[in-house]
Structure 1
Amino acid sequence: MPNPTARRRRRRHATLALASIAVAACGLTSCDATTAKNAQSATTAPRTSATASSASPTATTAAQPSLHMITNRGHRLAFYVTPGHGPAIVLDAGGGLDASYWKKIVPVLAKQTRSEIITYDRTGEGRSSDVPGPWRAQNAASDLAAGLTQLGVTKNVVLVSHSLAGEIATYFVRQHPHWIAGAVLVDASLPEFYTDGETAKLVAGNEQQIAALKKKPQTRATRQLLAEADHYGPVHRAYHKLSWPQSVPATAIVSAKTPFPTPVDAQLWRQAQQEFVSAAPNRRLVVADRSSHDIPIDRPDVVIKTIEDMANQVR
């Protein structure tokens, strides 16, 4: 019987290749998120950076999340709420992933912060509806806003966004800056990365994979991949022109390995994270040592500590 975890990781990396960032990282059918980890020891980062502690989270007992089905523009979205106090912490997983991506982090955060924790399934994922047509981060931001509005969570929010969800976060925070007390961007897809040259390179690298995918039998997963890949070039050239509101504090966590196997692309990824952080004094960089792009899986301790720091900062 196929291993469901391995299958989900293969799909995860296919999504990275097609719709998020890492075109060259792996093929559509095979790539393991748990590649050999970087053995380097923790070091002191530059002045604008911080390296998080390596302590592992412990098992905890926390309240179980309740399911809330939200309607926006005719489709249904699944939100999961673990009760607590403010600030509310909202977790948004990367491309091809649903709320279960955070299942090991949520109970620890709930126990240690006493905050309300919210996760959700984007359209085409988990219990949420499929929506035909191209996927756009702006529409996903509208879904998130509708969910938080219907849940009554529209102020003092700590938004945590991984990978592709960084694009959703950028649109969301630009539209609702007063809702967000602070953000944690986990190896997030940021506007600074998508220069004309890098975007053209990603588009060219995707062409054969997209063509091959269109020839395969269509499933929910493949339809979602193609929706996210639609008009990738124009979408990301427009995204490159956006900026994060300077009034909203943010911490960017960058992985040790980045999503890319090639040194040039990996360095561009790191530079984009640093450029984002350097653009305002209320931002900082955290380096997740010994981590692949899947920082919440490889180094949940780094993610938890950084979220706790942000929550304490904005209380």
Structure 2
Amino acid sequence: MRNDLHRRRARRVLPTMLLLAVTAGALAACGDASTPASSTSSSSPTPPAPAADAPASDSPADAATHMVDAGAGRSLAFHVTPGGPPAIVLDSGGGMDSSYWDDLVPQLAAATGSTIITYDRAGLGDSDEVPGAWDPQSAADDLETGLRALDVTQDVVLVAHSQAGEVATYFTRANPQLVSGAVLVDANLPQLYTDETIARLIALGTPQVEAAKADPSTKQNRQLIATAENYAPMHQAYHQVTWPDDVPVTVIVAEKTPFDGLPKDAQRWRDAAAAFVAAGPDRTLVTAEGSSHDVPIDRPDIVLAEIETMVAARD
């Protein structure tokens, strides 16, 4: 029952977050996309004090919840399913907390024997909120703080959906020795954020942002407001960021993309992903056939398979 309710909640939240938090939308040309190096299609800071354990209210049954001191009087919730290396870290998209991965965690643990870590970014789930604009670099710092508190200092396979692609990019650039590989699931990629795209997204997202400001009672609405607050300069900077060449990465693109029903924009989204893959070595492009932007729910088999492949490749 809980998972069914979660799926309905995800379907409701994602459209609201679409224009700003969930996607960078390919509404403007992102440049010519070269043929990716490898392409397949699938059908089927200073370390804080030690983390304190807390009851795992929303995490999978075998997971332990650790409340990590992130400084400035705030805590972050990390949920750990014990196992061996590598540590597989799952980061959810805009407006979604760690429960987004509840169905996949036990499957991953059984298939890989790995430690599985999910967490709530600041302001979501059981993690404390941070006032002001959302900043993916600060979010990446939070992730580093949490992993170091858990004594995870090497051999991480990072899995990021949607908005979390921004966090993953900054985290991996700052910690290339820590990340053994990454799987980016229909993720926000730097190639998408041209000045024209940013301006269009701000204009298109204004009604949703204004509606959120009129009702800031929910965490999702507050996160949307925070994402919009510094949107243009934040994404102008992100547009210049590159993925480290020495960290292998698989990019999963949803067949329907976040722009189902808008063929031109959907193609630009796919082209941007292809351009990202073509821009460096050890990058693979996979299409999640039949899936919406919500790939982990629509096609968990593909996400699971690509994580398993990345784990095996890193071995």
Under TM normalisation by the shorter chain, which class is it? 0.7 to 0.9
Give the letter for the 1:313 counterpart.
A
2:69 matched to which residue of 1? 71
1:179 matched to which residue of 2? 178
- Gapped runs of 5+ residues in structure 1? 26-44, 55-61
Report Cα offsets for 1:27-66 as digits up to 9, x if no partner.
Answer: xxxxxxxxxxxxxxxxxx9872112351xxxxxxx97011
Give the letter for the 2:70 counterpart.
N
* Separation in 1, partners of 2:165, 2:36: 23
> TM-score, normalized by length of structure 1?
0.86
Q: What is the SS of the residue equivalent to 2:306?
A: helix
> TM-score, normalized by length of structure 2?
0.86
1:142 matched to which residue of 2? 141
Report Cα offsets for 1:72-98 as digits up to 9, x if no partner.
Answer: 122111101111111110000001111
2:189 matched to which residue of 1? 190
2:121 matched to which residue of 1? 122
2:47 matched to which residue of 1? none
Report Cα offsets for 1:270-314 as digits up to 9, x if no partner.
Answer: 011101111122000011001000000000000000000000000
2:275 matched to which residue of 1? 275
Kept after mapping to 2: 8 A contact 1:69/1:77: yes
**CA 63–130 in structure 1, closer or farther in 2 if over 3 Å, else same:** closer
Kept after mapping to 1: 8 A contact 2:184/2:252: yes
Give the letter for the 2:64 counterpart.
S
Q: How many pairs align?
A: 287
1:306 matched to which residue of 2? 306
* Separation in 1, partners of 2:148, 2:213: 37
Kept after mapping to 1: 8 A contact 2:21/2:95: no
* Separation in 1, partners of 2:253, 2:232: 24
Deviates more, 1:197-206 or 1:269-278: 197-206
Query: C-alpha displacement at 1:8, in angstroms?
Result: 3.9
Query: C-alpha displacement at 1:232, in angstroms?
Result: 1.2
Runs of 4+ in 1 over 6 A off after TM superposition: 22-25
Corresponding residue to 1:49 among 34, 39, 47: 39
Query: C-alpha displacement at 1:217, in angstroms?
Result: 5.2
2:220 matched to which residue of 1? 221
* Separation in 2, partners of 1:245, 1:93: 22
1:18 matched to which residue of 2? 20
Give the letter for the 2:122 counterpart.
T
Query: C-alpha displacement at 1:168, in angstroms?
Result: 0.2
1:58 matched to which residue of 2? none
Deviates more, 1:139-148 or 1:204-213: 204-213
CA-atom RMSD in angstroms:
2.0
Kept after mapping to 2: 8 A contact 1:83/1:117: yes
**CA 154–16 in structure 1, closer or farther in 2 if over 3 Å, else same:** farther
Kept after mapping to 2: 8 A contact 1:71/1:77: yes
* Separation in 2, partners of 1:23, 1:289: 19
* Separation in 1, partners of 2:182, 2:89: 9
Kept after mapping to 2: 8 A contact 1:90/1:119: yes
Kept after mapping to 2: 8 A contact 1:253/1:286: yes
Kept after mapping to 2: 8 A contact 1:70/1:76: yes
Q: What is the SS of the residue equivalent to 2:257?
A: coil
Kept after mapping to 1: 8 A contact 2:37/2:281: no
Kept after mapping to 1: 8 A contact 2:22/2:162: yes
Kept after mapping to 2: 8 A contact 1:23/1:206: no
Q: What is the SS of the residue equivalent to 1:253?
A: strand
Structure-to-structure mapping, 1:192-271, within 5 angstroms: 192-216=191-215, 218-261=217-260, 262-271=262-271
Kept after mapping to 2: 8 A contact 1:23/1:205: no
Kept after mapping to 1: 8 A contact 2:156/2:180: yes
Query: C-alpha displacement at 1:218, in angstroms?
Result: 3.5
* Separation in 1, partners of 2:91, 2:166: 11
* Separation in 2, partners of 1:93, 1:208: 24
- Gapped runs of 5+ residues in structure 2? 28-34, 45-59
Query: C-alpha displacement at 1:12, in angstroms?
Result: 2.6
**CA 181–10 in structure 1, closer or farther in 2 if over 3 Å, else same:** same
* Separation in 1, partners of 2:67, 2:215: 32
